[in-house]
Homo-oligomer: A and B are copies of this chain.
Amino acid sequence: MVRQVAVAPDPQPLDPTVGYPKGRARRREILRIASEYFAENGYDAATIFAIAAACGISRAGLLRYFPDKEALLEGVLRYRDEEDRARFAPYASVPGGLGILRAMVDLAEHNEHSPGLISLFVRLSAEASSAEHPAHFYFSERLRRIRSGTERTLESAARAGYLRDGVDPAATAVQLTALMDGLQAQWLLDPALDMAGHMRRAILEILNTRGAAAFDAVETTG
């Protein structure tokens, strides 16, 4: 059984072992290059040696920051999660869940500028479907977290009277999550695809007239 990568729900922004500014900058640079390397070659085929070479440092130098490949993967995933959390946080206070729905469109738009990271996540998520993969637990938990967060958002929109009749929060949460993932997979093959436009369209389809007007208001002020 391969060790599973565990990503803490509230990771510390600073790793105490590399607390000096220069070490933190180097660590961040390694994570950026490792992200790109995993995106291009997949996780399974990547080696610490090859990633160290891509970073222009020795294998031993890389291992001072990340003791093994699993730790490096954990660092990459945590880095991405921190960025996403920072993106959603300002929207959480918008009532009726509309801020979070708006943030989903923003995220799709942001992702259109990050092909490497999207490729990494689509590819790693597929690799990690095997229970033996070190990121299996991470991706399973991430899916559950995103789906249940989306469901709570839609329940909040329902209570505010923003949803069309017959829209079921639980089923719609699964479908919006699948749509986002599927659009990313399509976009990797067809970069002309308007991911943000399709997310916006799908969200407007579940809102009633009042919800759509309120959603557009978030859009212009958010």
Q: Footprint of B on A, CB under 8 Å? A: 40-42, 44-45, 119, 122-123, 125-130, 136, 139-140, 143-144, 171, 174-175, 177-183, 185-186, 188-190, 193, 198, 201-202, 205
Contacts and interface: CB of A to CB of B under 8 A. Distances in A.
Contact of A188 (B129, B177, B193, B205): B129
Contacts of A123: 123, 126-127, 129
A183 B189 contact: no
Contacts of A122: 126, 129, 185
B143 A186 contact: yes
Count identical subunits in the complex.
2
The CB with the most chain B CB atoms within 10 A, among A140, A174, A183, A202, is that of A174
A179 B175 contact: yes
11 contacts: A40-B130, A119-B126, A119-B130, A126-B185, A128-B189, A129-B188, A140-B189, A174-B183, A175-B198, A178-B181, A178-B186
Contacts of A177: 182, 186
Contact of A125 (B127, B128, B140, B185): B185
A42 B41 CA distance: 11
A182 B178 contact: yes
B45 A201 contact: no
A143 B137 CA distance: 30
Contact of A202 (B127, B175, B180): B175
